[in-house]
Amino acid sequence: MVKILVIIVGGPSSNNVDVKLAKILGIKHVKLIYKEFPDGESYIRYPRPEDVKDEDIVIVQSLYKPQSKHIFELLLAIDAAKDFEAKKVISVVPYLAYSRQDKRFLEGEPISVKTLLKTIKNAGTDYFITVDIHKEYSLKHFGEGAYNVTAMGELAKHIKENVKPANPIVLAPDKGALVHARKVAEILGNVDYDYLEKKRDLITGEIEVRPKELTVKNRDVIIVDDIISTGGTVALAATSVRKQGARRVIVGCTHALLVGNAREKLSKAKIDYIVATDTVPSEYSKVTVAPAIAEVLKQILKI
């Protein structure tokens, strides 16, 4: 029987997930050589292209800002791997950019996540793995061979060990994220979970959010979401539940983009603890998505 050989290839925005994956799986790791030309074009190079021939190649490249630059670097890495006669190309994209433009909100818009997944596939990707994609149904644009992994298990374990929440309730900022709250609640020991609804305070007139069914009074509140972008949603949630008598406010999210003045908003909201993953580099990236991705890779590669 021929041994299946696999190489993990780290792209310029792998954020070290490549190294962690190689360590977990015990397989060969290669970092792409990277530079930027004076005009801003990206340059990548496989240090030993002859190693790629007839092997399964796992290219790790996360698509945080500058998103399009990282997208094109991924395409270069895929296309070159095919040129060097890689057997299968598995693109691991811990954070998938453009995943929130997942339908036509207005007539005339592209479905950007479709454009991106089609492009990654057409470049020569056989299997695609991402983490907590904004909407799971978007994977259909890649078709067969697309996998979504959740980081919520790892986030929940981290919160359990490091924060030890008392009388916890897990809250999603909206109905669409309830699946994340359910997962975290389960790992915390089947605790309560709910999602937040926008309401106007009848006395002050201010917008606030409240759990649909449950109450937060004297409880440690864990707010979970896939993305923190400008921080507005999470900050409003934290401020609201605090007013409603929450004891501690803990935030867990997969992708901490933290754009614009997100840090200021989070700081003003006086959140007791924030944890995110390494799909996007940030000061909150205390959890790695590598073990979750490794599980899927083991299935795909039968290793």
Q: Is 16 in the site for its own copies (CB under 8 A)?
A: no
254 contacts 279 by C-beta, under 8 angstroms: yes
- Smaller CB distance to its own copies: residue 63 or 216? 63
Rounded least distance, CB 143 to its own copies, Å: 14
Choose one: 75-83, 147-155, 180-188, 218-226; the region binding its own copies (CB under 8 A).
Answer: 75-83
Kindly give the interhelix angle for 152-163 and 290-301, rounded to the nearest 10 degrees: 150
Nearest residue (CB) to its own copies, 3 versus 37: 37
Q: From residue 30 to residue 59, what is the string marking binding to its own copies with x (rule CB under 8 A)?
A: ---x----xxxxxxxxxxxx----------
Regarding 69 and contact with its own copies (CB under 8 A), the answer is: yes
Using the rule CB under 8 A, give the single segment among 102-110, 150-158, 173-181, 207-215 that binds its own copies: 102-110
The contacts found for 75-81 with CB under 8 angstroms, 24 or more apart, are 75/119, 75/120, 75/123, 76/42, 76/44, 77/9, 77/11, 77/32, 77/44, 78/120, 78/123, 78/124, 78/125, 79/123, 79/124, 80/44, 80/46, 80/49, 81/9, 81/46, 81/52, 81/57, 81/124
CA distance 195 to 213: 8
Contact flag: residue 68 with its own copies (CB under 8 A): yes
Active-site hit among 23, 35, 53, 198: 198
Q: Which of 58, 123, 196, 269 binds its own copies (CB under 8 A)?
A: 123
- Contact between 109 and its own copies (CB under 8 A)? yes
Closest approach, Cβ 65 to its own copies, in A, equals: 5
Token duo for residue 124:
């020569």
- The residues with which 170 forms a beta bridge, in sequence order, are 193, 222
To its own copies, the closest distance from the beta carbon of 43 in angstroms equals: 7
Residues 214-253 that bind its own copies (CB under 8 A): 229-230
Q: Are 9 and 297 in contact (CB under 8 A)?
A: no
For this structure, is 82 an active site residue? no
Phi and psi angles of residue 87, each rounded to the nearest 5 degrees, phi first: -75, -65
Catalytic residues: 198
Footprint of its own copies on this chain (CB under 8 A)? Answer: 33, 38-49, 65-69, 71-72, 75-77, 79-80, 83-84, 97-98, 101, 106-112, 114-116, 118-119, 122-123, 229-230, 257, 259-260
